[in-house]
Amino acid sequence: MELAVRTSLLLAPRRRAAGADAAGVRNEPRDRIRPAPSGAEQVEKVDPNLMARDEDGKPYAVRYEAMNAMLLNEFLKEHCQVTAQHDGSSTAQQIEQLTVALTTQALQIEQRSAKVEASYSGTRLIVEK
């Protein structure tokens, strides 16, 4: 989640340049495209997958449409961790309940064993030779 937050903070709203389509990509020939702005360089440091690259591998635009998917993935990871922590606390409660039940059963077994031993102590087996 930290990565998503840092990336979204770096991507401050920017004006679209003249000649750009709805996604903010310039409709100019590749030789006339200016280098990526400094904000894009910061985004590249945080997550290089958010950069659109030219044939030479140089970044020339930020893929803003990829931000939604990245933020959703980070949210789902965080949600799974919180859910696992919540399940962990209920698991601890279940363990405590099972421990109490086991202790109760052990006491019952001891009591019944004592009764059985008491009933056998009064009787003796006589073996004739």
Give residue-wise pLDDT tens across range 32-90: 555 555 677 788 888 888 888 888 888 888 888 888 888 898 899 999 988 887 776 67
Query: What is the domain partition of the chain in residue ranges?
Result: 2-67
- Residue 40 sits at the vertex; the CA angle it makes with 38 and 42, to the nearest 5 degrees, is 75
Asked whether the whole model's pTM tops 0.85, one would answer no
Average pLDDT over residues 20-30: 55
Residue 54's nearest CA partner among 76, 36, 80 is 36
Q: In Å, how far are 23, 69, 86 from 72, measured between CA atoms?
A: 20, 5, 21
Measured between alpha carbons, how far is 55 from 58 in angstroms, rounded to an integer?
8
Alpha-carbon dihedral sign for residues 85, 87, 89, 92: negative
Per the structure block, which two tokens stand in for 27? 């409709």
Q: Is beta strand 59-62 parallel, antiparallel or unpaired with respect to 51-53?
A: antiparallel
